[in-house]
Chains A and B, each alone.
Chain A
Amino acid sequence: MSNLSRRDFLKLAGLASGAVAMSHLTPRLMRNQTSDLPNIIIFVFDAMSARNLSLYGYERNTTPNFHKFAKRANVYHRHRSSGNFTTPGTASLLTGTYPWTHRAINLGGLIARDLVDHNIFSAFGSDYNRLAFSQNMLPNYLLGQFARDIETILPFSSFGILEQIYGESFTNDMSLAYRSFDDFLFKEAKPPSSLVFGLIDQILFRRQQARAGLDGDYGLPPRAGAEDLFFRLTDVFDGVNSTIRDLAANSPFLAYLHLWAPHEPYRPAKEYQNLFQDNYSPVRKPDHRFGDHIEYYKLKTHRRIYDQYIANVDAEFGRLIDDLDKSGVLENSYVVVTSDHGQSLERGLEFHFTNLLYEPLMHIPLLISAPGQSKRKDIYFPTNNVDLLPTLLWLVGRSIPDWIEGKLLPGLGGVGDMERSLFTLEAKTNRAFASLSQATVAMIKGNYKLIYYKGFESEDSFEFYDLENDYEELNDLYPAQPVTLKAIKDELLEKLDSVNAKYRGR
């Protein structure tokens, strides 16, 4: 070292600074080299049940624009979420694994810490420009876990008209900052845990809310649940539009866009509030013992507003797709339209905070439009949202990691398999890292569906449906013990036993 001359030192310093600069530029340069890769745009409409979409045969014409989009897409008719609320449903979509693997099973739960690298953003790698946006707080906890694999996470309150969100200011520690500030210290609709600032925050926000005419419920601009965020659908879709256009300047990109609507509170815009004043009467179903015993007529009224809200989302989506189409962004983009879970408006139960797993809660839309696709393709094989990640990786020529539990979707690299077993799990009251002792598991195999209620009552119970002949799940075949039941039940119990093995004793 003593022989190092001034000239050598300067050369070395130049090389070192060049190397630092290159390390920063490499992903961008690589991105330019791989710009022939297609873009991926994923739209997740929260709590959108396929059972309320005319695209899937619903009586009310809720989705004329989805129909139009479907003319250039693969339409999956028997697609289900692996969870019945946002956390597990979204985590499965983003990781390609079932809830019993990723363990984000509780309300606001997180992916198992040793599996955080197993996500869609890391799987696509840094030669993709990766962006994520969620208007629902729960996916933001997960996105915070994946933050180092995402170039841009748009703030939760983006495109809002009135907001008071704090966690998003802590970009290096988003997940825990959201939990500390917005879910604890300044939590809405509860006595704030921060006595001074929290109280001032609540008083000021409610004053702003009243001044902006946002006090009340029906007929107001949408609100992201109980969070301090109000927005207009038009603004959100316009914001998403300009975000995608900006991304297109730096292709290839992966955009995960998780929009709140049509999640409750249902707030369709004014021009949709008179829709569906018809005589449509949904099938009457008996109240379930785990339901909330809400009257049929109340559910019927709420269903109409939910349908109006879906029609509103559909119209905005149509406007967005037309605009993106004109701009040429879609020429080299796969567009995915799906949801994280469904919604219940039957059996005395509204919304999705439940341990039930009937079809309206787990049957979700899935449409995938490929670049240049001009024909509709309908696929009736059962699929699950764990299948999306491997399929997208296959479409862009990536190898599929062995940790993914999903399979390639039929029509996009995969082969339809009626005998494949698919699962949906609800276990929000179970400890995340313990054996599943209180959970509902639904298993789909072919046309059959077995539901297992474990640990809720003194005796565990089952329901068994033939979905081909009993679309509304009205005829429980379990008491009759049909021959088809035994093999399916054995398989489900075996599966549960195997996923519990890792946590036995905890």
Chain B
Amino acid sequence: MIFLNRVPKRKDILPVYAVIVLMVYGWTILKFSYYVPSWLYFLNLSEILIVFSYSMAVNLLESLSILIGVVTIAAILPQKWFAEMFVARGAGLSILLLGLMMYVANQFNTKGYYPSEIIHWSPIIFVFMGMFVYLIGRITFLRNAVECFADRTIIFLYISIPFSVLAFIVVLMRNLI
């Protein structure tokens, strides 16, 4: 119960989740748009939508797993370090983490690539990320900017969540019936 009391409030979690959703779903939708022209050569619309459903279902799990990670950090760390300014620091951390993932993912253009340098330097990268997240809370301009951005991304939740739920139902129906 003590741990649950340390979990940020729902109104603070939503903007952070919205940022995560924007980046995770946005990445997949962008890639999807690259594939669609070739799929249109031989898949029909319903098949393309089913592939989209699988993708949305996976995106939902991915975004939730990142959110759980961020919320857990907020619950574990001293409140002054993270939870007190959860929207700014949580959104900032998500942007940095997912941005780093996008950078690494883009390196996987060749067979056999392994991000050994990034893994080697990861402790330092994470320390810098932590420092930057801390600074977001300390510098008013940065904090306002991140909070403002996170707040504006909430609109995406109104699209992504219903779509993901629908996608999950599609995936379940195709595999259970």
Contact = CB atoms under 8 A, between A and B. Distances in A.
Interface in A122-178: 170, 172-173, 176-177
Contacts of B114: 203, 206-207, 210
Most chain B CB within a 10 A radius of its CB, from A189, A195, A203, A207: A195
A185 B50 contact: no
Contact of B115 (A203, A210, A431): A203
Interface string A188-232: 111111111111001100110010000100000000001000000
Task: Classify chain B's interface size.
Answer: 35 or more
B111 A110 contact: no
Contacts of A103: 42
Interface string B17-44: 0000001100110011001001011111
Contacts, number: 110
B174 interface: yes
A173 B108 CA distance: 28
A498 B129 CA distance: 65
B110 to A, nearest CB: 7
Given A192-B105, A195-B28, A195-B101, A185 B55 contact: yes
Contacts of A181: 54
A181 B54 CA distance: 8
A89 interface: no
Interface string A74-109: 000000000000000000000000000001111011
Interface stretch (B61-69, B82-90, B155-163): B61-69
B133 to A, nearest CB: 19
Interface size of A as a range: 35 or more
| Interface of chain A, main secondary structure | loop
A184 interface: yes
Interface in B65-120: 65-66, 98, 101-102, 104-115, 119
Q: Is the interface of B mostly helix, strand, loop or mixed?
A: helix
Given A110-B42, A176-B47, A184-B51, A193 B32 contact: yes
A118 interface: no
B153 interface: no
A191 B107 CA distance: 7
A210 B43 CA distance: 36
A170 B58 CA distance: 14
B96 to A, nearest CB: 14
18 contacts: A104-B42, A172-B174, A172-B177, A176-B47, A176-B51, A180-B54, A189-B109, A191-B107, A193-B28, A193-B31, A194-B28, A195-B98, A196-B65, A197-B62, A199-B101, A199-B108, A202-B105, A432-B41
